[in-house]
Amino acid sequence: MQFKDIIGHNEVKQHLAELVEHNRLSHALLFLGKEGSGALPLAVAFAQYIVSLPSASTKQSADLFGSLSTEPSFIHPSKINTQPSWQRANDLIHPDLHFSYPVIPRKPGDKPISTDYITEWREFFQTNPYGNVYDWLQFIGAENKQGNITALECSDIIRKLNLKTFESDYKVLMMWMPEYLGNEGNKLLKLIEEPPPNTLFILVAENESQVLPTILSRTQLIKIPALLTEEIASALEVQAKITSDQARQIASVADGNYREALQLVSHAEEDWQTLLRNWLNTIMKTGPVAQVKWIDETSKLGREKQKQFLRYFGHLLEQAIRLEAIGEERIIIPENERDFAIRLNKIAGLGQQQAIIKELDDAVYYIERNANAKLLFHALTIKIYHIIANQEIVEVI
């Protein structure tokens, strides 16, 4: 994978190239980006680039970390695929490129490390580079098991990084989701702070607050912003082969998350508006019996569809806020969304809509952490009723 294969982030790509060109690279980098931002594929592309660099061809053996004043010969990331070792790096089989990620025991009593799952990891990344940790754990059959990066994994990392390089001038260890690394991660502190020569750590995280502070303080932060709606739309047109209107609509709902956009494409036939209309009518008009029936049906959809539905509701509320604040005639949105958003403005004011959006975001968070769907939607139904109960009841049809 090359930088050109990564959606957007041109400024970050340029910054990374300049760090290499001017020998300003830290021994430990933290790529920090929310789900679907592309932090993982960008970090992998950078790691592949580093191990594919040719040996320094200067009078002194300067390295990427600026230990000498002279600079090695520089190859721009866009040209790295001309190097002999590039294909091995691209196939994730380069002997100096190592990966660490959350894993599960295959059977009771197992003490797995990432290397045990390297075949699955290669397949997962090459088919789903924008996937999240839930996708990965389901890919390896975790079901409801919790993934971990264990103390044994840390010991294996120390062992591998103390070996000599095989082909490259550099060894790279890329750890995905260090949030799954408990206090045993402190075993890595000395190695991160004083690594063997020409060793690079790359950590890829979604939540900075869940990374061990002792590790966080020893890394150079590379922030990966959310993707722009236009960037997602352009990528969907090319990769998902959908129309520009469909791509724009999906991209606006995805809210900077390309994984979510792909999920929405795969479920494009879902009629979220009808589901939402029915829900609001049970909340504000038809009452508890209809609510229970709706909750029973929705709880069977599966977690991904439930998340998409809640995010779609949040998107419509945001459209409603925009229409109210800026004016209907100045906002260009699909007609069916416009009509629904106007109706939402009739049953809830700005403060209430913001309160509902917060409840929806919280619900998505709990769904991602295996909350019981029936209990969650029952609680959410009650909360939404109380948020808008003091408004005039309007049937959303």
49-95 tens-digit pLDDT: 999 998 754 334 446 666 544 444 678 888 888 888 999 999 999 99
What is residue 269's predicted lDDT score, i.e. its pLDDT? Answer: 62
Name the residue among 156, 164, 211, 209 with its Cα closest to residue 28: 211
Whether 132 contacts 205, CB under 8 Å: no
pLDDT of residue 360: 94
Lowest mean pLDDT among 113-117, 233-237, 365-369: 365-369
Distances, alpha carbon 292 to alpha carbons 92, 271, 286, 299, in Å: 49, 20, 11, 10
pLDDT of residue 332: 61
Q: What does the alpha-carbon distance between residue 141 and residue 104 come to, in Å, rounded to a whole number? A: 9
Which of 6-10, 277-281, 310-314 has the weakest average pLDDT?
310-314
Give me the torsion for CA of 190, 196, 199, 204, rounded to 10°.
-10
Q: 127-134 — which CB contacts under 8 Å span 24+ positions? A: 129/1, 129/40, 129/41, 129/44, 130/36, 130/38, 130/40, 130/41, 130/258, 130/259, 130/262, 131/259, 132/35, 132/36, 132/206, 132/259, 133/102, 133/176, 133/177, 133/180, 134/303, 134/368
30 bridge partner residues: 203, 221
Percent of the chain with pLDDT over 90: 59
pLDDT tens string 119-128? 999 999 999 9
- Regarding pTM above 0.85, the answer is no
3 pLDDT tier (thresholds 50, 70, 90): very high
Rounded Cα gap, residues 135 and 204, in angstroms:
16
pLDDT attached to residue 63: 61
- Convert 304-321 to b/e letters by CB count within 10 Å (16 or more is b): bbbbbbbbbbbbbbbbbb
pLDDT score for 71: 45
The DSSP H or E segment spanning 202 is strand 199-205
User: Sorting pLDDT into bands at 50, 70 and 90, what band is 218?
Assistant: very high
Give the pLDDT confidence of 330-364 residue by residue, as tens digits.
666 667 778 888 889 888 888 899 999 999 999 99
391: pLDDT confidence band, cut at 50, 70 and 90? low
Copy the structure tokens of residue 382.
């009650």
Give pLDDT, residue 295. Answer: 96
> Mean pLDDT across the stretch 144-152?
88
How high is the pLDDT of residue 370?
A: 83
Query: What average pLDDT does range 323-332 have in this prediction?
Result: 72
- Does pLDDT of 243 surpass 80? yes
Count CB atoms within 10 A of the CB of residue 236.
26
Q: Is 146 exposed, middle or buried (0-12, 13-18, 19+ CB in 10 A)?
A: exposed
- Measure the CA–CA gap between 302 and 368, rounded to whole angstroms: 11
Phi, psi torsion values for 67, nearest 5 degrees:
-75, -20
Average pLDDT over the chain, rounded to whole?
88
The residue type of 30 is L
pLDDT band at 2 (very low <50, low <70, confident <90, very high): very high
- Going from N- to C-terminal start, the domains of the chain cover 3-225, 270-388
Q: Which CATH architecture describes the domain 3-225? A: 3-Layer(aba) Sandwich (3.40)
SS3 173: strand
What pLDDT was estimated at residue 75? 86
Asked if 241 and 51 count as a contact pair (C-beta separation under 8 A), the reply is no
User: 201 phi and psi, to 5 degrees?
Assistant: -95, 135
Amino acid at the residue 64:
L
Across the chain, how many H-helices and E-strands are there? 17, 5
Better-predicted residue by pLDDT, 170 or 328: 170
User: How many angstroms separate the CA atoms of 282 and 298, rounded?
Assistant: 13
What strands lie across the sheet with 171-176, from one edge to the other? Answer: 97-100, 171-176, 199-205, 28-32, 220-223
pLDDT per position as a tens digit, 173-195: 999 999 999 888 999 999 998 88
Q: Taking the mean position of all CA atoms in its chain, how far away is CA 84?
A: 31
